[in-house]
Every structure is written in C-alpha cells, then in structure tokens.
Structure 1
Amino acid sequence: MDLLWLLKFQLKLEVESLALVAVIAWCLWYSWNQVHLGGAQQSAWHIFQWAWTYLEEFQLANHLPTQPRFVSEVLWSPPKPLWFKVNIDSAVFSSLKSVGVGIVVRDQWGNVAAAMSKLVNAPLGPLETEAMVMEEAIQFARDTGFLDVIFESDSLSMIQSLNGSLIPPASIVNIISGSLQAIRYFGQVEFVYVPRTGNKAAHGLAQ
C-alpha cells in the first residue's frame, strides 16, 4: 500500500499504470509461490506479458465502451472458396457455475453447415471459457469432417496465443497447447480475430 501511495501521490502515475503495477506485483507473488511449490521459474518478460494480458481481459470483461455512432460495424464475411469458417463465442453464467457454448460453421456462400449450442458445467473465467470453447470447436469441426477451416473469435488474447504472437497466460497454456496439437488433422487452418459485431451468430447461440 505504501508503494501504491508513493506512485499515485508522489510520482503522479495514472490509474491505468497503477493497475498494471498492482497486477505485475500479484503475478510476481504467484510466480514465486509456484517456484516454491516446485514449478518452473518464469522469465521477467513472460510475467510482464501475463500481467498485461490478465489486466486486458479483466478490463474487457468489466467494461464495454460505447461505440461512436460514426464507426461502422464489422460484419461477418465469408471464407475463401472451398473453406469453412467456424465462429465461436461463449457466455459465463456465474450464478449457475456454468458456461454457454456457441459454434457456427458456414461455407463460402454463408450457408450454415453445422452448429452447436450447449451449456457446460464449468466455473471458468472469461479467458479460460473462450479457450475451452475454441478447443471444443476444433473437435467439433474435425468430427464433422471439415478440412480447410478458419476459426474466428472475438477474444484477441486467445487468437494471439494460438498464432504465436503472445505467450499464453498460465491459465490457458495447456488448452492452447492441446488445440494446436489437434489442428494437425486438418488440411489448412487459420485463427482470426473478429469484433463482437462480426460474431453475432455464435454469440447468440452461447446465450
């Protein structure tokens, strides 16, 4: 608390910077405990990326900024010829300790080729839920026989983790690893981020 007081009132740091400092401190504490219990030691860069991602996901889950009226909505777009696009989304029902799963598969003409909507008893956070649903979608697409597939989600951190541009947070690293192993059974696969406005069908199924 003394450190936060110093940063806020003496060094005049903004609230956003203070939040990041607090999360980094928690991640350092958690990482130290994991090492103490026999876990692997994480690099400073990994801890920083983990803290940044954790804070970003928390802010996204707790604050949805109002879009200016002049901003055009991003709409769903069809995949390349002979490809299929799998849109996924999830919904967390904290009171039920469960999550909703929404998966929609469409072809190049926008026709629905397959879909899934179900409730899973799993008390997970927003990021863990999105990763779990992606793993479910990969299995679903494989079981239904699709070969060349684009997986779209409105979880930026998860898509970046799957594409290798972000080190996965510890809470989803095993799920990400399993998903990357599972895509070996496809011909070609892409992971693409799409804003919520371009993911409405899957979002509706997850509710």
Structure 2
Amino acid sequence: MVVNQVRWRPPIYGSYKLNTDTSLDISSQQIGLGMVIQDQDGNMMGSSAQKVKTNSTPKAAEACAILRGLTFAFVTGLLLVLVKSDALEVVNMIKSGKEISAEIGLFVGDIQELLLCNSGCLISYVSKKMNVVAHNISKLALSIDEDCYLLESYPPCVERTIVLISLFLVLWFAFNKKKSHR
C-alpha cells in the first residue's frame, strides 16, 4: 500500500510563506478570499479574509487571492520567499511568464510584477490538504461585512486547525531530532 505523505515545509529562516485560497458563493456572486502568512516555525504572521462581489471565473478568483495576498505581505513589510496555492492551472500560468489574455491575464501580469519586486520569491502548487487554513479563512470571508486584516494572529474559525498543525510540528521536530542523534 502506498501512502502519500503530506508534510508542512517551512520557509527559510527570517522569511515568510503565503498560502491563499478562495471560496465561491454562486447564488450571491461573491468570492471569499483567504490568505495566511507564516514564518519558519509555523507562527501566524498575518492573515486576511476578504469578500469580493464578482462574476469572475474560479481561475480569476484564485489569481485575485494570490494578488491580494502578495499585496498584503508587501504592505506589511513581510519578506516572502514562497507563495502557495491549490489552483494548479493558475500557478502554472504565473510561472510560464507568457502573456495571457482575458480577465485572468490582468491578475497574472500584476502577480508576476510583484514576484519580480520580491526577488527570490517563488510560487508553487500545494495540495488542498495542505491549504486548509487559507481555505477556512476564505469560507469565513463570505460571512463578513468588512475585509479583515490581522497581524500575528488568525480568525477564531481556524484555531483548531492551527493547534493541530502546531502539535504536529512539535512532534515532527522532536522525532527528527531524536532520529538524527541515532
């Protein structure tokens, strides 16, 4: 039996990782954007829940979340080295460097510019399993009246997930430390 191992990977010391995701409410034509910025120890350095009224495509919504997450990090002065999204096609469009037409092209071009400004920052795909915190924040965004920006904190709706991730990290680091001393 093959088991897929899902493991959190920290950014390098002194830098940060951004995860983004979206939730769509088709009936109200609203998109919830969720973003979370973590340091090398998994600590929450920033999070944001934002709601956008739009009839955009799901890909454009994911690109919007990435762009707003990058903007949030840039404004707060957090040096990103990694941006993660579970929207594989969008990540590939951004990485391709090609000019893209239509609605999503505007987002992709701006994202590419911000990545260039933040030299050394990479974007990559992450599985939905490893993007739960950003996803839960995006679901929360659909229920709020005003955009929410938190520094060194996170919304209460993701507290249980954060505690479980923290517990996992403590156990993982302890196991690997013990393993390396053998």
TM-score (norm 1): 0.62
1:80 CA displacement: 1.8
- Distance in 2 (CA, whole Å) between partners of 1:120 and 1:190 is 26
1:169 CA displacement: 6.1
Equivalent residue letter for 1:206: S
- Match of 1:125? 57
1:165 CA displacement: 6.9
Give the root-mean-square deviation of aligned CA atoms: 2.0
> Does the residue aligned with 1:181 lie in a helix, a strand or coil?
helix
Percent of paired sites with the same residue: 26
Give the one of 87, 111, 121 matched to 1:155. Answer: 87
Structure with the greater relative contact order (CA < 8 A, sep ≥ 6): 1 or 2?
Answer: 2
How many corresponding residue pairs?
139
Give the one of 172, 177, 180 matched to 2:112. Answer: 180
- Match of 1:23? none
Structure in which a larger fraction of residues adopt helix:
1
Structure 2: 5+ residue stretches without partners: 140-182
Structure in which a larger fraction of residues adopt strand:
2
- Match of 2:72? 140
Q: Quick check: 2:115–2:122 contact (8 Å CA) kept in 1? A: no
1:162 CA displacement: 1.1
Equivalent residue letter for 1:104: V
1:125 CA displacement: 1.8
Give CA-to-partner distance per residue, 1:1-56, whole Å, 9 cap, x none: xxxxxxxxxxxxxxxxxxxxxxxxxxxxxxxxxxxxxxxxxxxxxxxxxxxxxxxx
> Does the residue aligned with 1:199 lie in a helix, a strand or coil?
helix
- Match of 1:91? 23
- Distance in 1 (CA, whole Å) between partners of 2:127 and 2:99 is 21
Structure label with greater radius of gyration:
1
Give CA-to-partner distance per residue, 1:89-145, whole Å, 9 cap, x none: 001111111100100000000000000012111222211100111111111110010
1:181 CA displacement: 1.5
- Distance in 1 (CA, whole Å) between partners of 2:85 and 2:98 is 16
> Does the residue aligned with 2:13 lie in a helix, a strand or coil?
coil
TM-score (norm 2): 0.70
Q: How does 1:64-83 map to 2 (within 5 A)?
A: 71-72=3-4, 74-83=6-15
> Does the residue aligned with 2:6 lie in a helix, a strand or coil?
coil
1:206 CA displacement: 0.5
- Distance in 2 (CA, whole Å) between partners of 1:89 and 1:70 is 28
Equivalent residue letter for 2:50: K
